[in-house]
Amino acid sequence: KCQLPPGSQLRPGNHMDNSLDLWSRTDVQTCTYWRAPVMWDGMFNPQHYDEVYRRQNVTVALTVFAVGRYLDIYLEKFLSSAEQHFMVGQRVIYYVFTDDPDRVPQVKLSAGRSVTVIKVLRHSRWQDVSMLRMKTIADTIDSLIRHQAQYVFCLDVDQEFVGRFGTEALGDLVALFHSYYYHRPKFFYTLDHNPKSAAYVEQGDMYYHAAVFGGTWQQVKTLTQSCYWAIMQDKNNQVEALWHDESHLNKYFWLHKPSKVLSPEYCWASAIGYRSDIHVVRLVWAEKQYSFVRQ
């Protein structure tokens, strides 16, 4: 049985445990076999979570990369929508990594929230831009973030917040169940089955989406450092994992089970269409014009 997450409320009519009435859902998986909660709308009381974390005066770091054309196309929408929905009422520091700091848009921020812009190199291959984020994040946690925030979320920029993405998502080590795979048998998971790659996994538990992961700065530092080492090991062996950093992230979460899993509400793809178990959409991927951004 899952542990009662902080801020959870008791309510009659529970199906998880006869002695303890939890809020829950019967139509979706709410707990992993290693007893991590899978966060779905209806399982938690948002106000309670917010009060608990407000009292702790936490600061949440949100890292996002906007290199090359991604800066013009996605960053403004990402930041302004985060102001509407991401950890509202909490202290937040956005760490924006870009090759062109002068072009970072000014977004109106609420009290207790700020943006730190960090210049990074623009790698010529998009695969490297994506994969080598792991190293930059690890280094920045070490040099900066650990002195400023307790929790770190690392997100892709090509998405937009459309609903609450709140303190219920905070945890030691947080992964996100990929919206394309949560309904599908493991057979379909696009894990890396190449034994030459450090990302090799035979089966996997869930297929996690690399567009969102997080945790305490300690956990995220270890995760990003490990993924970076694995990526470099592959480079030395002249192999590249099937889905780049996502394959390495999935390997990491296979070896180190996340303490919390976010439901696909936290990174939904509109192209999937209507699903009766998705009551709330919190973050959506932007439609991508690949020919335009990846040239």
**Which residues of the shown chain bind Mn ion in the complex (CB under 5 A)?**
156, 158
* Distance in Å, CB of 231 to ligand UDP, minimum: 14
Find the catalytic residue in 168, 240, 246, 265: 246
Q: How far is the CB of 65 from ligand UDP (least distance, A)?
A: 4
Span of 3-11, 154-162, 191-199, 231-239 interacting with ligand UDP by CB under 6 A: 154-162
By the rule CB under 6 A, 79 interacts with ligand UDP? no
192 in contact with ligand UDP (CB under 6 A): no
Q: Does 126 bind ligand UDP (CB under 6 A)?
A: yes
Which among ligand UDP, Mn ion, none contacts residue 130 (Cβ within 5 to 8 A by kind)?
ligand UDP
d(CA 177, CA 64) in angstroms, rounded, equals: 20
Residue 52 in tokens: 């608990």
Instruction: Tell me if 268 contacts ligand UDP by CB under 6 A.
Output: no
Q: How far is the CB of 241 from ligand UDP (least distance, A)?
A: 12
Among 37, 81, 82, 156, binds ligand UDP (CB under 6 A): 156
What does 192 interact with, of ligand UDP, Mn ion, none (CB < 5 to 8 A by kind)?
none
CB neighbours (10 Å) of residue 155? 23
Question: How many CB atoms lie under 10 A from the CB of residue 259?
Answer: 19
- Catalytic status, residue 287: no
Binding-site member from 70, 165, 189, 200 for ligand UDP (CB under 6 A): 70
Q: Does 214 bind ligand UDP (CB under 6 A)?
A: no
Task: Give residue 236's identity as a one-letter amino acid code.
Answer: N
Q: Looking at 32, 63, 81, 130, which residue binds ligand UDP (CB under 6 A)? A: 130
Q: Could you say which of 22, 38, 61, 67 contacts ligand UDP (CB under 6 A)?
A: 67
Instruction: For the CB of residue 243, give the shortest distance to Mn ion in the complex, in Å.
Output: 11
Q: Which two tokens stand for residue 128?
A: 């490297």
Q: What gap in Å lies between CA 232 and CA 63, rounded to an integer? A: 22
Which CB, 156 or 168, lies closer to Mn ion? 156
Please tell me whether residue 199 binds ligand UDP under the rule CB under 6 A.
no
Q: Pick from 68, 163, 214, 258: which binds ligand UDP (CB under 6 A)? A: 68
Task: Spell out the residues 6+ positions from residue 48 whose beta carbon is closer than 8 angstroms to its own.
Answer: 6, 7, 8, 9
Candidate segments 19-27, 126-134, 180-188, 270-278, binder of ligand UDP by CB under 6 A: 126-134
CB of 73 to Mn ion, least distance (A): 11
Positions marked active-site: 246
User: Which residues of this protein are in contact with ligand UDP, per CB under 6 A?
Assistant: 65-68, 70, 126, 129-130, 156-158, 211
